[in-house]
Amino acid sequence: MAKNQNISIFSFFAGAGFLDLGFEKTGFNICYVNELHKPFLEAYAHSRRVMQMAPPTYGYSHQSIEALADNEKLIGAIEMECKYGNICGFIGGPPCPDFSVGGKNKGRKGENGKLSEIYANLVCDRKPEFFLFENVKGLYRTHKHREFFEYLKQKLGRFYHLNERLINSIQYGAPQDRDRIILIGFRRDCFPAVPLDWGRLVYPNRTAFEYSWPRIESFVPDVAKPVPNHIPLELTVQHWFDKNNVEKHPNANHAFTPRAGKAKFKVIGEGDDKKKSYKRLHRWRYSPTAAYGNNEVHLHPYKARRLSAAEALAIQSLPAEFELPESMTLTNMFKCIGNGVPFLAAKGFASSIHNHIREHHESYSEQLSRRNQSTAA
């Protein structure tokens, strides 16, 4: 990688920008952002303004990914980055309900399932130097989904050296048990066939789950409990609530207050998170997967209410200064939070990719230059 080269990111299915923020904080340049759902795109732009970050170089795109195959603005942006001599990468996590274990299970034929192949086609057509594909582990879980994933990899593998891993966000220090498939490709004509070094995980393998975490306890509102011995405090819900000062956060009062079900809020024990719905978090434990759909009700550890948006953002390991706009509906707030990639995990992926580019793009370029000089001689 040349000293003056930038690494430019084209982001698809960007949501409110959690994945992008992880890349940006690792030294990448977010130059193009695509998100079909307008409230999410508005939240993305709002958060950047609040954090005093410049808008993407080529702005925001509010189009379906199907419409981007021959989009002149996208093609022009890629050509411009190439003209500047920059390295380009596509990142994105297509919507996943059709592959989720608890979702629609329609697979590649579902409206969302189709988007994974459209994204893969876009990568193959435009051929950025690298790409990242993020999705649920449901792509591994059933034969038909796994077959489709292998088909996508075969298609992408014609042009890219592929690196794949099932990761859990807690491995990167996020306070959340969240499995995801990550597929990263580096273009064959730009990089040697060197496997990606996934970096030094904070908690490799299953080590984060091997501590003596507290179990279910009686729910007692607003009563302090001492920190248990011998647990990593930085993986606990309470640590992140304190770290992000959630009670003073701009999204502190954004929480669902249902008309019915409040009595149930008082009888579920602290840490009882094994049911499909009405899960109460434990203050001195990590959170289950941050999923806030119709059937997922996550309760505050020691208050008889649902989580606030500020608390949910903290569980996604976002910086305290990240916020969602006041005008956003609660449904959209919690949907975009639940859909997002935990910030610390995003930083981890970005760091691995950045190191790979720095170490191997330059060496391959030098190798190619020597080969060309030898041929010319």
- Residues serving a catalytic function are 96
Rounded-to-integer distance, Cα 33 and Cα 52, Å? 17
Residue 244 near residue 254 (C-beta atoms within 8 A): no
Rounded Cα–Cα distance for residues 306 and 278 (Å)? 9
- The half-sphere exposure of 31 on its side-chain side, counting CA atoms within 13 A, is 24
Closest of 195, 123, 142 to residue 164, by C-alpha: 195
Residue with tokens 């959340």: 176
Whose tokens are 């009405």? That residue is: 278
**DSSP-assigned letter for residue 239:** H
Residues in Cβ contact with 217 at an 8 Å cutoff, skipping those fewer than 6 apart: 225, 269, 270, 271, 282
Tokens of 169: 């966000």
Closest CA to 341 of 212, 174, 197, 207: 174
Single-letter amino acid code for the residue at 281: L
Residues 6+ apart with CB under 8 A from 86: 5, 6, 7, 8, 29
Phi/psi of residue 180, nearest 5 degrees = -150, 150
Counted residue by residue, the chain has a size of 377
Residues near 139 by Cβ (< 8 Å), separated by ≥ 6?
99, 145, 146, 148, 149, 181
- The Cα–Cα gap between 29 and 142 comes to 37
Q: Give the integer Cα–Cα distance in Å for 300 and 247.
A: 12
Query: Nearest to residue 304, comparing CAs of 214, 222, 216?
Result: 222
Residue 8's CB: how many other CB atoms inside 10 A? 25
